[in-house]
Structure 1
Amino acid sequence: MERIAFTMKLKPGYIAEYKRRHAELWPEMKQLLQENGISDYSIFLDEESLLLFAVHRQEETGISNLKEKEVLKRWWKYMAEIMDTHSDYSPVTHPLTLVFHLD
């Protein structure tokens, strides 16, 4: 199982809304992630810069077509008004490179 980390950017004024939407994560979205080998998913926020830091565990198989799933596309569109996104509503992400891990 691989650990994946990346950043995203929240738009100003949407901290409470971002938290609310994730507190009410759609059951079908949770199921989609779990069915595609994603687990132990956390998102942290630097409230000063509005930078979101996400980290999760991911099985190496099964997620190649995740971006094509309708549930994920609906979630992206739902979140687009409150965070930086591409034209297809997918979040602008910046992958992070692991430089240290203490096991």
Structure 2
Amino acid sequence: MPRYCFTLQVRPERQQEYAERHAAVWPDMLAALAATGWRNYSLFLREDGLLVGVVESDDLAAAQAAMARTEVNARWQAEMAPFFSDLDTAPDEGFVQLREVFHLEDQLTTTTES
């Protein structure tokens, strides 16, 4: 399954509250993520506010579009938007996607098949 990684910048003064909010994500938001194809989804927060997300999905664009059609996502994104710096759009639309350049399991599989 394809893996995706993205970054956002959490405002320094909001980091603690951001972490607390993600310790208890709304059950309907969790259900919507699962139903729309978000798998093995994690967020990591560095001390300076750099947020790194990692998610697996058959098609991230399709998963994002499906989430955009849910009412719970609109509410969640509206509540989360004030936590981020330098963001002119909803957080789930404004993240910077990173290109994967190494994955151990992929290379091990290629090596053992040779």
Class of the TM-score when normalised by the shorter of the 2 chains: 0.7 to 0.9
The CA distance in 2 between the partners of 1:86 and 1:72, in whole Å, is 17
Q: When the two structures are superposed, what TM-score results if normalisation uses the length of structure 1?
A: 0.87
Larger Rg: 2
Indicate the percent of aligned positions where both proteins have the same amino acid.
35
The CA distance in 1 between the partners of 2:88 and 2:57, in whole Å, is 23
The CA distance in 2 between the partners of 1:75 and 1:19, in whole Å, is 14
2:100 to 95, 98, 101: 98
The CA distance in 2 between the partners of 1:28 and 1:68, in whole Å, is 14
Higher helix share: 2
Partner of 1:59: 58
The CA distance in 2 between the partners of 1:5 and 1:55, in whole Å, is 4
Give runs of aligned pairs for residues 1-103 of structure 1, distance below 5 A.
1-48=1-48, 50-60=49-59, 63=63, 64-84=65-85, 85-87=87-89, 90-91=90-91, 92-103=94-105
| Alpha-carbon RMSD | 1.6
Decide which moves more: 56-65 or 7-16.
56-65
Q: Which runs of 5+ in 2 are unaligned?
A: 106-114
The CA distance in 2 between the partners of 1:74 and 1:96, in whole Å, is 26
Once the two structures are superposed, what CA deviation does each residue of 1:36-57 show, in whole Å capped at 9, x if it has no partner?
1111111111212x11000011
For these two proteins, the number of residue pairs brought into alignment is 100
Once the two structures are superposed, what CA deviation does each residue of 1:20-72 show, in whole Å capped at 9, x if it has no partner?
10011000000001001111111111212x11000011123852332232111
